[in-house]
Every structure is written in C-alpha cells, then in structure tokens.
Amino acid sequence: MVDSISGSNSMRVGGLASGIDTDSLVEQLMNAERQKLYKMQQEQTKLTWQQDSYREVNTSLKSFDDMLTNMKLSTTYNQKTTTSSSSAVTATADSSASNGSYSIEVTQVATAAINVSTGSVGGDDFNPDEPIGEQFTVSFTTYDQEGTEIKYDKTFTSSDSLNDILKDITNSNAGVRASYDTQSGKVVMEKKYTGDLNEDIYDNDGKLLSRNAEIDFGADNAFFSGFLNLKNENESGGQNAKITYNGVLDVETSKNSYSLGGVTFNFVEETKGPVRVSVDNDVDAAYDKIKEFVDKYNEIIEEVNGRLDEKVYRDYPPLTDDQKKEMSEDEIKLWDEKAKSGMLKGDSVLQNGLFSMRNAWYSNVETGGEYTQLAQIGITTSKDYLENGKLVIDEKQLKDALRENPDGVYKLFSNSAEGESQGILQRLEKTVDSTMDNIYKKAGKSTYTNDQFTIGKRLDDVEKRIDDFQDYLTQTEDRYWRQFSAMEQAISQMNQQSAYLTSSFGG
C-alpha cells in the first residue's frame, strides 16, 4: 500500500508508487487556480488606493473651505494701519475707524497704587519660606477697576510661611500683587490695575478732604502694621491718565489707553505737546490675505487637474506578496508609483467640482456697486492653457482697489444675498461643500463604516469573494490530493498483482 494520508490538515506524501513528484504537480495546479485570487486581491488594493486618493483631495478641499470663513469677514478687506509721531503714544484701529489724523496730548499717565514696608521684615536671619510660627488673620480692603469694593480675609496657621501668604494674596481675586524682596527684606504690595480706583472723600465744593488707601489694611492690623511694617499712610496712591483729544476733549481714564471711533490710543509716557496719530487702510495686509487665498485655490486646481490627467499604467498591477519577495525595496517603490498612478483619471465628481468652482469665480456679482467681476480688481485667468484655469493677480490694480474702495472689494467677494447678487465666496463655499459631499459618498471618511459609501461596499464585496474563493482553493487542493492518492493506490495494487503473476508463472 502507498504510504499517503489525504486531508487538508494532514501530512501528505505522494509518488511512492508512481515516482511522480506529486507535491510539485499539485503546487502547479494550485498556482493556476490562485491567479483568480490574485486578481481579486489586486482589485482590493486598487480600491483602497482609490479611496485614499479621494480622501487626500477632500483634505485639500477642507483646508480651502476653512479659509473661506475668514475671507468672508469684512475686516479681511478693510484692515487699518496706524502711525504715530512719537513713541509716547501708540495706536491700533479696527475696520470701523475713519481714516485721518488724530491729536493726542498726555499730561499724566496712569499708575498703580503701591505700598512698601518701612523696614525689613523679621530681622536679618528671616527666611520667607520657613513657617512663621504664629497664626495670623490677614485682611484688607481694595477696589477693582470699576471701583467696587473687594474684601480679602483669611486665617493662616503657624505652619504657613510668609511666601505662602503672599502667594495666596496674589492669586486671589483682590487684584493685588504681593512679594518679598530678599535684598531689602521688605514686602511690596501693589495693585494689578492702574488708576485712582478707591472712593476719596470730597467736600461740597469738590475739594479733596482725605484720600483713602487703595489697599486698606484697617486701623489696627497686627499682620500688616506689626509684622510687615506696612501702613496705609505710606501708600503711593494710583492715579488716572489725563489726555487731551484733538485739542478740545479732556479725558481722564484709569487705564493707559483710550478708545474712540474704532481707534485705541495707548499711552507710554507723558508727551511734550500733542502727538499726531494717523489712520489709513492697511492695503498690504488685505492684499496678502487675498493672495494667500488665491494661491490656495491655484494649488487645488493644480492638484485636482494632476489627478484627472494622471497616466494609467495598465501593465503595472498591484504586486502580490510573492512578487515583492523577489524584488528590492527600490524596485517595489518604483513599481508602486506606476501602479498607483491614474486612480482618479477622468473622474466625473472632480471634473464637475472644478467646473463649478471656475463658474463661481468668473460669474458676475450684482453688488450694486463699482465692482461686479474679478477682472475689475486685477484678478484674471492665466493666459497659459497649461495652467488649467489658474488665477493671476495684478498687484497694483488690486492694491489700488483695496485702497480706494475696500467695501466694494468686500461685497464682490462676500455677499450673503441669493441669486446674481451672491458673493464669490458664498458660491465657492456651496460648490466646495457639494464636491466634498459627493466624494464622501464615493470614498467616505474615517468615521464611516464601509456600508455608508460606494467604495466601502465594493471592498466588502471583494472581501467576501476572497473569503469564499479561499475556501474553494482549500477544497480544490484536497480534491487534487485525493485524486493523486487514489492513483497511487491503484498503481500500487497493479504493481503487487504484476509481481504476483510474475512470481507464479516464473516459478
């Protein structure tokens, strides 16, 4: 009998009777059968590559879509720049500020109230990080920027250090910084806010009778007066800033800044006479924003057209694992580059998206104003047909438009009306969102399950066919081995009979 065992999970030994290399024959037969499996695996790989390509395009579109939000703001086109004749006064202006020149004279800058110990705390060997050794109730009264009274009151144990107490005061809502100066051995307490913020006492004629301390320790406070040597009468009170605006308006403010008509003036020091501040359109900033946006659009045009026109190398299917074993890493890389090429060639979703975006840029916008199309502000289509519709900017023409009529440029780009009055950005947003949605339907996103998009459903189908075919291969291989085993048994029996007959007649 032939020593062979049939079955997919058993050791198989063939060719003992026939002398045939059964292993080699079965392997050749199975390789022929596996070609169908390889094709399905290659189809699976190509679908995955196509899915990745779609999602890469959507990533670029999402980045472009995010830029649309900022581009719809009026401040993008009507930014302001300020200049000052002196470093003593600086200014910033928002888009509502009127262009022009302003005069600011600062006769007094705002300062914060401050109090310093009259002598060193705790003696020569005092360590502010060691426990004080006494229980203190620390309390004082101060005022916030609106003049509202704030009370600080807390009891500390003998295990707390001076720095623990000062840190707690600083981190509280009292608006006071408290610190220990190691060089002088003194404690400094100062308001975090500038200005005369407490309630002073005046007579009926408006004459100041007494000035309350802005950090009021009270009449008898053992911690502040006895331990820290801090007394109310030693406080250097905060003062308000005093300015004259355009030579006629006297203003007093608790902060070293003042806002009027969209312009915020900041005071660094007292001035020697009026300081001239000018406000003008920041044309360069607006131009840079528009150029950045147009450049991003051109990147989209280049990327999408590149994928639509990418060559398909039909002689370079995805490699199987066995094929990769016979190739170097560089050979695999070069092969894959060609195999992945053309995944989105001629894709209708991308073609329709590009067409709609071009229409959004080029169609007239009925703004009711001076500008109704891009060419009027210096943005046109490249004359080089190889550029595939990229936009080019005439810098001088666009800057002139931004300087002379920023609101007109804004309305051309961003107008929330419907129909022919709808702005370019609103039209682009609809087109981009629609294109992205169509890509999601085909290639999904990371949060989708395969049954939610077209390629995912095809991947599931291929996966099922691969599983079924692998079962078929197992059954086919078992069948080949059973057939060869039966043949070996038949040959073995014939050999035995032949030997018997030979023995009988010969005898």
The interaxial angle of helices 22-71 and 329-340, nearest 10 deg, is: 60
Q: What is the pLDDT of residues 311-336, one digit of tens each?
A: 999 999 999 888 899 999 999 999 99
Q: What percent of the chain has pLDDT over 90?
A: 63
Query: With 70 as the cut, is the pLDDT of residue 277 above it?
Result: yes
pLDDT for residue 321: 85
Using a cut of 0.85, tell me whether the model's pTM lies above it.
no
pLDDT for residue 432: 95
Between β-strands 186-191 and 114-116, what pairing exists: parallel, antiparallel or unpaired? antiparallel
pLDDT for residue 401: 94
Amino acid identity at 40: M
Least confident span in 311-315, 419-423, 426-430: 419-423
The token pair that represents 365 in the structure block: 């916008």
Place of tokens 């694992």: 321
Query: With 90 as the cut, is the pLDDT of residue 203 above it?
Result: no
pLDDT for residue 12: 55
pLDDT for residue 75: 87
Query: With 80 as the cut, is the pLDDT of residue 338 above it?
Result: yes
pLDDT for residue 1: 34
Grouping H, G, I as helix, E, B as strand and the rest as coil, residue 115 is: strand
pLDDT for residue 180: 96
Amino acid identity at 185: G
Q: What is the pLDDT of residues 91-107, one digit of tens each?
A: 999 988 999 999 999 99
pLDDT for residue 481: 76
Which strand ranges, in their side-by-side order, compose the sheet holding 100-108? 80-84, 275-281, 100-108, 241-245, 249-253
Rounded Cα gap, residues 300 and 374, in angstroms: 19
Query: With 80 as the cut, is the pLDDT of residue 132 above it?
Result: yes
| CA angle, residues 236, 238, 243, in degrees to nearest 5 | 135
Residue of 202, 207, 193, 201 lying closest to 254 (CA atoms): 193
pLDDT for residue 20: 66
The token pair that represents 490 in the structure block: 């038949």
Q: What is the pLDDT of residues 54-95, one digit of tens each?
A: 999 999 999 999 999 889 988 889 889 999 999 999 999 998
Q: Average the pLDDT over 179-207 and give the result.
A: 85
- Confidence band for 200, pLDDT divided at 50, 70 and 90: low
Query: With 90 as the cut, is the pLDDT of residue 507 above it?
Result: no
More confident residue, 495 or 464: 464
Q: What is the pLDDT of residues 436-478, one digit of tens each?
A: 999 999 999 989 999 999 999 999 999 999 888 888 888 877 8
More confident residue, 479 or 43: 43
More confident residue, 477 or 414: 414
Place of tokens 């950090």: 215
Ramachandran class of 204: left when φ > 0, alpha when ψ lies in -120 to 50, beta otherwise: alpha
Query: With 90 as the cut, is the pLDDT of residue 33 above it?
Result: no
Query: With 90 as the cut, is the pLDDT of residue 226 above it?
Result: no
Element (H, E) at 89: strand 89-93
Least confident span in 16-30, 86-100, 362-376: 16-30
pLDDT for residue 478: 80
DSSP 246-311: TTTEEEEESSSEEEETTEEEEE-S--SS-EEEEEEE-HHHHHHHHHHHHHHHHHHHHHHHHHHHPP
Query: With 90 as the cut, is the pLDDT of residue 384 above it?
Result: no
Torsion of CA 120, 124, 125, 130, to 10 degrees: 0
Element (H, E) at 116: strand 114-116
| CA angle, residues 302, 304, 308, in degrees to nearest 5 | 115
Query: With 90 as the cut, is the pLDDT of residue 416 above it?
Result: no
- Confidence band for 171, pLDDT divided at 50, 70 and 90: very high
pLDDT for residue 210: 58
More confident residue, 200 or 392: 392
Rounded Cα gap, residues 396 and 380, in angstroms: 13
pLDDT for residue 272: 92
DSSP 186-208: EEEEEESS-S--S--EE-TTS-E
Rounded Cα gap, residues 297 and 390, in angstroms: 8
pLDDT for residue 341: 94
**For the chain, what is the mean pLDDT?**
88
